[in-house]
């Protein structure tokens, strides 16, 4: 087997075959460690600072191992980037014969049967949906993979997608008339046969949850699991190891019942009437929660007569529809599937009312036009550890943000990763020279009514010094909107605001404009890569502590406190430190990047816990003097001045 040093070394294979590749000792060490774990087995938790090149560091030993490997990453976008860009580059450089496959969840693949059913119901669609359906129909004759990501002309959140893709509930499986040309089945077959499969955390956790219920495996058994962006795993796993019921599921059931009725029956119009009643009750249920989009504790349900009454009506109408479908069992596979879905959703509603599961958290969330009722495990460590034990393989967890103050205990405890080997490789970037960390003086406390206005005011001269080219990252949508309204006529640079366009479109505009100012919340704190001068400043309003009003967080805080623990130090603070590392990590993405990080929260320096945040961030030059900010930008933008000198952390 070829030595890792021959591949990653200064004159190694990658340096000779990939333009711009440079030797990084941290990357080579990481690859050697992962290679050893692949060979010997075990569990590895490792953090690789930005610029380490962790993707190559795990792909190379994975391709050389001769093992069946599953690589899971945080989002579908990262999954596509890994499979279509990074993996082909490494395979070609190594001349590797290893077969690879990409596998996503079923909602990412066109369902021919549901598309054909939607075509029959065209009169019920809006003009936009009808046009999009025709686009999908035309594309369906050309695509080989059926991956809806190919259809970039139709937005990801377009209402047509649920009509032409399947869910676990509405899939007919081998009874489907279009089973022989099912894109999902073909994607799973390729995954079964491949040596290396690229998936995402949602699919991994969905498969773990399905195995617990005794269903067939979605994923092929593997010798090794490499989990990139692993800091996202605890939240994703919590949602899949619990149970939920959404307004969308109910509306989909009602719509599918009507469609399948017209295909397979047609002589019992009361079924259509009942499906319409279920639709109406579901929409009324959303209104009962109020117009606000929020997450709330189950006590809010029990203390709201309108919501409680709506849930009882929902249970009743769902039960009636189920009885009607039971009465015509056998009339058609589609209607039988709807009957089974009715039973399953009724069972979930009953579970939501069951108070016996003391270790579960019951809560709800409302979206613009829908709602979701949830039951989430209080802790997932025991569940996740059990699932890992069912897959006796090497497990590697990696991210740029896993350690808090140099310790991995918070992450390891969340997933029950006892006795895991841990490593932390620092970024190869020269942060003291590449970045300045500025904490303004005389800031009010974040709970001060004037705090948001003060942050907006101090942002103006900073943006003038940076020439725009900035992200303003906020911890709440309300603060973002207040800043957007205030800055609209006060800065001369193009302003892009989260929510006015899809994230990908906003980022593309930001890169192409060159001096824009982008205002964003949580979705822009991570998974965003803007290299070069277009992003030269990141301004963060507050330390990103999760909202204490979040029902899941509050339940976990109460449980930790009941055991005599300190929820702030053991849970809230580590979570916030990791989130801040993600936000700050947007600034320096390349060895040629230069920029200023501005943290507007005085608690960073005034509170003892501020040291945890400081220790978790890269070693940037630090200053509280705005003149240093101006000098930094003037120097790096070509004005012949001395660079900003390093200053004490205590300044």
- Strand positions, DSSP E, 481-619: 495-497, 517-520, 537-540, 595-599
Q: Cα(636)–Cα(434) distance, rounded to whole angstroms?
A: 9
Residues 363, 344: Cα–Cα separation, whole Å = 19
Angle among Cα 476, 465, 448 to the nearest 5 degrees reads 35
> Which tokens sit at 509?
């505009």
pLDDT, mean of residues 80-103: 93
pLDDT, residue 65, reads 94
Give the pLDDT confidence of 7-23 residue by residue, as tens digits: 998 888 898 888 888 89
The C-alpha angle 364, 367, 373, rounded to 5 degrees, equals 25
Classified as helix, coil or strand, 473 is strand
Rounded Cα distance between 458 and 443, Å, is 10
Of residues 377, 452, 412, 410, the one with CA closest to residue 576:
410
Would you say the CATH fold of 431-636 matches that of 244-377? no
44, containing H or E segment: strand 43-48
What's the CA gap between 101 and 191, in Å, rounded?
5
Give the CA dihedral 304, 309, 312, 313, nearest 10 degrees.
-140
Residue 356 confidence (pLDDT): 67
Neighbours of 199 (CB within 10 A): 25
Average pLDDT of the chain is 90
pLDDT of 548 reads: 78
Q: Among candidates 469, 474, 437, 399, which has minimal Cα distance to 618?
A: 437
Residues 6 or more apart in contact with residue 578 via CB below 8 angstroms: 231, 401, 402, 404, 410, 616
- Report the half-sphere exposure of 501 (CA within 13 A, side-chain side): 12
Q: How confident is the model at residue 167 (pLDDT cuts 50, 70, 90)?
A: confident
625-631, long-range: CB < 8 A, 24+ apart = 625/651, 626/438, 626/440, 626/461, 626/462, 628/436, 628/438, 629/436, 629/438, 629/462, 629/465, 629/596, 629/598, 630/465
* CATH topology for the 431-636 domain: Rossmann fold (3.40.50)
**Residue that the structure tokens 């916030």 belong to:** 576
Please check whether residue 550 is in contact with residue 522, taking contact to mean a CB–CB distance below 8 angstroms. no
Is the CB of residue 551 less than 8 Å from the CB of residue 361? Answer: yes
DSSP 502: -
Sheet containing strand 295-297, strands side by side: 243-246, 371-377, 360-366, 295-297
Count other C-beta atoms under 10 Å from residue 400's C-beta. Answer: 21
pTM: 0.89
Centroid of chain to Cα 301: 28
The per-residue b/e assignment along 266-300, b for 16 or more CB within 10 angstroms, e otherwise, is eeeeebbebbebbbebbeebbebbeeeeebbbbeb
Positive or negative, the CA dihedral 295, 301, 303, 306 is positive
Which residue would you say has higher pLDDT here, 228 or 291? 228
Q: How does pLDDT run across 455-468, given as a tens digit for each residue?
A: 999 999 999 999 99
pLDDT at 640: 46
| Tally of CB atoms within 10 A around 432 | 15
DSSP 8-state class, residue 571: I
Which candidate, 510, 501, 541, 549, places its Cα nearest to that of 525?
Answer: 541
Q: Name 45's bridge partners.
A: 397, 422
Q: How far apart are CA 409 and CA 406, in angstroms?
A: 9
Q: What is the pLDDT of residue 196?
A: 96
Tokens, residue 166: 């399947």
The fraction of the chain above a pLDDT of 70, given in percent, is 96
**Range of weakest confidence among 317-331, 482-496, 632-646:** 632-646
Query: Are residues 179 and 185 in contact, defined by beta-carbon separation less than 8 angstroms?
Result: yes
Query: For helices 269-288 and 305-327, what crossing angle results, to 10°?
Result: 160
Which CATH superfamily hosts domain 4-99+194-240+380-425? P-loop containing nucleotide triphosphate hydrolases (3.40.50.300)
DSSP for 103-161, written as a single string: ---GGGBB-HHHHHHHHHTGGGS-HHHHHHHHHHHHHHTT-SS-BGGG-TTS-TT-TTH
CA geometry: angle 87, 34, 46, nearest 5 deg: 100
Query: What pLDDT is stored for residue 650 in this prediction?
Result: 44
The ranges assigned to domains in the chain are 4-99+194-240+380-425, 106-181, 244-377, 431-636
* CB 461, CB 598: distance < 8 Å: no
Please identify, in words, the CATH class of the domain defined by 244-377. mainly alpha
403-420: string of b/e by CB count within 10 Å (b at 16+)? bbeebbebbbbbbbbeeb
User: Residue 590 above 80 pLDDT?
Assistant: yes
8 A C-beta contact, residue 222 and residue 68: yes
Instruction: Calculate mean pLDDT across residues 43-54.
Output: 94
Give dist(CA 647, CA 651) in Å, integer. 7
- Confidence band, pLDDT 50/70/90 cuts, at residue 587: very high
Alpha helix (H) residue ranges in 71-111: 76-81, 87-94
Phi and psi at 245, nearest 5°, equal -145, 125
Query: What pLDDT, on the 0 to 100 scale, is given for residue 638?
Result: 65
pLDDT tens figures, 531-565: 999 999 999 999 999 987 889 888 888 888 888 98
Percent of the chain with pLDDT over 90: 66
**Burial of 563: CB neighbours in 10 Å, binned 0-12, 13-18, 19+:** exposed
Residue 386 CB neighbours (<10 A):
12
In the block, tokens 């008339």 appear at: 177
Six-digit token string for 229: 């962006």
* Mean pLDDT across 194-217: 78
Which whole-number Å values give the CA distances from 164 to 78, 199, 645, in the listed order? 24, 22, 59
């Amino acid at each position: 087997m070829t030595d890792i040093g021959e591949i990653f070394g200064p004159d190694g294979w990658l340096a000779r075959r990939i333009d711009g590749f440079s030797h990084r000792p941290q990357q080579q060490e990481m690859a050697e460690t992962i290679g050893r774990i692949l060979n010997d087995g075990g569990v590895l938790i490792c953090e690789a600072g930005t610029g380490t090149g962790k993707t190559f560091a795990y792909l190379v030993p994975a391709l050389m191992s001769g093992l069946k490997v599953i690589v899971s990453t945080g989002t579908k976008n990262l999954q596509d980037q890994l499979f279509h860009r990074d993996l082909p580059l490494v395979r070609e450089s190594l001349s590797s014969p290893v077969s690879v496959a990409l596998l996503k969840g079923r909602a990412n693949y066109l369902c021919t049967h549901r598309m054909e059913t939607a075509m029959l119901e065209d009169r019920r669609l809006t003009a936009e949906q009808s046009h999009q359906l025709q686009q999908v129909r035309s594309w369906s004759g050309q695509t080989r993979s059926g991956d809806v990501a190919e259809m970039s002309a139709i937005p990801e959140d377009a209402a047509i997608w649920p009509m032409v893709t399947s869910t676990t509930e509405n899939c007919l499986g081998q009874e489907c008339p279009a089973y022989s040309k099912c894109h999902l089945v073909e994607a799973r077959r390729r995954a079964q046969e491949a040596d290396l499969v690229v998936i995402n955390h949602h699919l991994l956790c969905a498969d773990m949850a399905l195995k617990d219920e005794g269903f067939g495996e979605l994923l092929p058994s593997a010798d090794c699991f490499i989990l990139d962006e692993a800091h996202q795993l605890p939240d994703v796993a919590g949602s899949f190891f619990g149970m939920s019921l959404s307004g969308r599921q109910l509306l989909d059931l009602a719509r599918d019942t009507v469609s399948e009725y017209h295909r397979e029956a047609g002589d019992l119009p009361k079924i259509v009437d009942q499906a319409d009643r279920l639709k109406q009750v579901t929409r009324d249920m959303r209104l009962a929660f109020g117009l606000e989009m929020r997450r709330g504790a189950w006590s809010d349900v029990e203390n709201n007569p309108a919501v409680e009454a709506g849930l009882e009506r929902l249970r009743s109408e769902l039960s009636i529809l189920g009885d009607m479908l039971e009465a015509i069992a056998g009339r058609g596979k589609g209607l039988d599937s709807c009957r089974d879905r009715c039973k399953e959703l009724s069972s979930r509603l009953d579970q939501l009312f069951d108070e016996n599961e003391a270790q579960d958290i019951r809560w709800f969330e409302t979206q613009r036009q829908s709602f979701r009722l949830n039951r989430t495990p209080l802790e997932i460590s025991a569940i996740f550890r059990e699932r890992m034990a069912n897959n006796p393989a090497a497990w590697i967890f990696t991210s740029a943000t896993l350690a808090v103050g140099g310790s991995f205990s918070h992450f390891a405890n969340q997933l029950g990763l006892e006795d895991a080997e841990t490593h932390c490789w620092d970024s190869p970037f020269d942060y003291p020279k590449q970045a300045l960390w500025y904490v303004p003086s005389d800031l009010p406390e974040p709970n001060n009514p004037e705090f948001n206005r003060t942050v907006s005011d101090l942002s103006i001269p900073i943006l003038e010094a940076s020439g725009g080219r900035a992200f303003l990252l906020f911890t709440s949508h309300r603060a973002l909107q207040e800043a957007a309204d205030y800055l609209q006529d006060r800065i001369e640079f193009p302003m892009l605001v989260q929510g006015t366009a899809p994230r990908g479109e906003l980022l593309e505009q930001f890169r192409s404009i060159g001096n824009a100012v982008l205002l964003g919340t949580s979705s822009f704190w991570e998974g965003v890569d803007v290299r070069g001068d277009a992003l030269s400043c990141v301004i963060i309003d507050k330390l990103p502590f999760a909202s204490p009003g979040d029902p899941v967080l509050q339940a976990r805080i109460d449980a930790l406190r009941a055991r005599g623990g300190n929820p702030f130090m053991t849970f809230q603070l580590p979570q916030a430190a990791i989130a801040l590392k993600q936000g700050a990590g947007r600034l320096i993405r390349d060895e040629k990047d230069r920029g200023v990080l501005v943290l507007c929260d005085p608690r960073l320096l005034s509170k003892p816990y501020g040291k945890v945040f400081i220790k978790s961030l890269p070693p940037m030059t630090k200053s509280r003097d705005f003149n240093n900010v101006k000098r930094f930008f003037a120097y790096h933008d070509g004005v012949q001045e001395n660079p900003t000198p390093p200053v004490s952390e205590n300044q």
